[in-house]
Amino acid sequence: MTTHAVRIESVSKIFNPGRPNEVQALVDIDLDISPGEFVTLIGPSGCGKSTLLRLIASLIDPTGGTIHVNGKSAEQARLDQDYGMAFQRAGLFDWRTVARNIELPLELMGWKKSERERRSKEMLELVKLGEFGDHHPAELSGGMQQRIAIARSLSFSPSLLLMDEPFGALDEMTREHMQDEVLRLWSETGTTVVFVTHSIPEAVYLSTRVVVMSPRPGRIATTIDVDLGGRNDDTRAETPFFEKVTEVRAALRAVEAA
């Protein structure tokens, strides 16, 4: 049996249990993700998609159930630095140059300086910002900052990439551009990606599987497999894309109506 990249078994999460502000965030979540998959979590706000991502990252602990990443506990995977993470806000350290931002995780892992510098150069080339290593983040646009954040999350070649609405704050054109970037990185690195979004076209365009979630309490309503093949500029204008968008939209409508 191959090891799942992520294995989530009957996970539930209650915030502030036993207090007046108790919130049932997630119930009965079962989800297996195979290596190399690109899975998006989509749903209305309050459906717990970001919570689920944080559970996988072991930034918070589940109230019930178990989560395994690469065959080990989520916490062990975090300690082993099995995953890289990108947030809605790039969250670059503004006192560090772009290159040294990318090197941050490598520093923490005790890489040698020369290796770090070589690696950050490679990563800058990968996100096509080779000439900006010496710049400070404040000098870059939001889209470029987000690219640096993605380069940072990939710098140590994690087998899993967790992305929490990374393009939520970008304008539409930049956003589509970044989606192609992420797809390219995904196919070049073979990383498994778990991607949270609330944009239906984004979910369809990127994923091999869309997980539709429903709110109050958060649970998985349905999963929709997507196979658009090689994407290009025309993909978003073609029938298979529209059909999938319609299917995901219908699923979300059903969720809202319920």
Binding site for another protein (CB under 8 A): 57, 59, 78-81, 83-85, 87-89, 91, 93-97, 104-105, 107-109, 128-129, 132, 135-141, 143-144, 147, 173-174, 177
Closest approach of Cβ 136 to another protein, in Å? 3
For the record, the structure tokens of 42 come out as 């989509």
Using CA atoms, how far apart are residues 183 and 153, in angstroms rounded to an integer?
Answer: 15
Instruction: Compare residues 113 and 216 and give the one whose CB is closer to another protein.
Output: 113
Contact indicator for 14, 24 with CB cutoff of 8 Å: yes
Instruction: Compare residues 174 and 199 and give the one whose CB is closer to another protein.
Output: 174
Q: What are phi and psi of 137, to 5 degrees?
A: -55, -35
Closest approach of Cβ 221 to another protein, in Å? 27
Using CA atoms, how far apart are residues 172 and 143, in angstroms rounded to an integer?
Answer: 11
Instruction: Compare residues 95 and 242 and give the one whose CB is closer to another protein.
Output: 95
Q: CA 55, 61, 62, 64 torsion: positive or negative?
A: positive
Instruction: Compare residues 53 and 221 and give the one whose CB is closer to another protein.
Output: 53
Closest approach of Cβ 257 to another protein, in Å? 34
Q: Which residues contact 252 (CB under 8 A, 6 or more apart)?
A: 42, 43, 44, 200, 212
Closest approach of Cβ 15 to another protein, in Å? 15
